[in-house]
Amino acid sequence: MAEGVTIEFTNVTKRFGSVEAVSDLSFSVEPGQITGFLGPNGAGKTTSLRMLLGLVTPTSGSATFGGTTYRNLSSPLGTVGAALEAASFHPGRTAADHLRVYAQAAGLPRSRVGIVLEQVGLESYGNRRVGGYSLGMRQRLGLAYALLGDPGVLVLDEPINGLDPEGIRWIRLFLRQLAAEGRTVLVSSHLLSEVQQSVDEVVIIAHGKLVHRGTLASLDMVESKQVIVDSPNREGLGWALQAAGYAFRSLRGGVIVDNADATEIGRIAFAAGIPLSSLSQKHAGLEDSFLALVGEEGAL
């Protein structure tokens, strides 16, 4: 296996005519962990990945693997494995032949074909024409292509799309294993929920711009303006909150106060002599933070 290297985007911009698909994007992706590359559809994820892989030429800036652009890598498939879309196959060619063509082009031993087919669980379907493959099988074949050169870096565009629950579970474990081996794993998705169980780090873009970069937990730290409070004397608490001018809802688990700060609510209850059984600032949750970051269109 080749060593995992750092992926580095430096001020990458891409304009298609008058549309700026990616604007001044800079971030790095470290080896040994899974990084989620997130954003709503049309945010510029695929364009960014295609620029990283030398398929699309950036208008300005550069994206590199350990300092080298993809087109200048001495052994591209041995350094980076990429799975970009589920339909990059000739339907009349068998999966094994498909892989054999690119193994030959990259100067890899023919034995790699059987090895990667087995790694993705397609060993008994290798001699079938890809035209008859299901979307899930195509995703696996795309992954097999990415693994062909046993690379230290994996770049996967929406690899979970089209997989059944069993396939999703399989790919999560598989990616986890690849990262544990020290590889750099970059996985894009438009759904946070799809990858939140697998990723360590997140890079979030919206409208071609970087909006958040950090650990998955850092997303959860974003606090909302809601307070959850409860008291054995709910009626008294209600009077006190109303007197202080707060809007609130009484639920079974407690009272939710909008646009409030936990310290302030505690002070109001104390001043009114209301005993509290619980008091906390409500966390926004990963999904809500994600949606807040990417904007309303994120709900697509």
Partner 1 sequence: MRSFGRAIHAEFTKVTTTRLWWILAIVMVAYVALVAGGLTAILGVVGTGSGGGARAPQISDAQRAPLIYSFGSSIGYVFPVLLGALVTTGEFRHKTLTPTFLATPKRGRILVAKLVALFVFGALFGVFAMVGSVGAGSGIMAVFGQDAQLGSSGIWALVARAILAMALWCAVGVGLGALIPSQVAAIVIVLAFTQFVEPILRFASGLTDWSASIGKFLPGSASDALVGSSFYTLSAPSLVALDWWQGALVLAAYAVVAAVLGYFTSWRRDVT
Contacts with partner 1 by CB under 8 A lie at 46-47, 50, 53-57, 70-71, 73, 76-77, 82, 84-85, 87-94, 97-98, 100-102, 104-107, 145
Task: Give the DSSP per-residue string, 173-196.
Answer: HHHHHHHHTT-EEEEEES-HHHHT
CB of 159 to partner 1, least distance (A): 15
> Between residues 86 and 203, which has the closer beta carbon with respect to partner 1?
86
H helix count then E strand count, the chain: 11, 13
> Between residues 71 and 169, which has the closer beta carbon with respect to partner 1?
71
CB of 113 to partner 1, least distance (A): 12
CB of 39 to partner 1, least distance (A): 17
Task: Provide CB contacts within 8 A for 90, sequence distance 6+.
Answer: 98, 130
CB of 73 to partner 1, least distance (A): 7
Structure tokens at 118: 């087995």
CB of 177 to partner 1, least distance (A): 23
> Between residues 19 and 299, which has the closer beta carbon with respect to partner 1?
19
* Phi and psi torsions of 185, nearest 5°: -120, 120
> Between residues 26 and 104, which has the closer beta carbon with respect to partner 1?
104
Q: Which residue type sits at 22?
A: V
DSSP SS3 for 58: coil
Structural contact between residues 44 and 207, judged by C-beta atoms closer than 8 angstroms: yes
Pick from 171, 183, 174, 186: nearest CA to 36? 186
CB of 33 to partner 1, least distance (A): 23
Separation CA 92–CA 137 (nearest Å): 15
> Between residues 144 and 274, which has the closer beta carbon with respect to partner 1?
144
> Between residues 129 and 234, which has the closer beta carbon with respect to partner 1?
129
Structural contact between residues 202 and 38, judged by C-beta atoms closer than 8 angstroms: yes
> Between residues 103 and 185, which has the closer beta carbon with respect to partner 1?
103
Helices (H), 72-191: 76-79, 95-106, 111-119, 135-147, 165-180
The 3 state secondary structure assigned to 250-291 is: EECCEEEECCCCHHHHHHHHHHHCCCCCEEEEEECCHHHHHH
CB of 148 to partner 1, least distance (A): 8
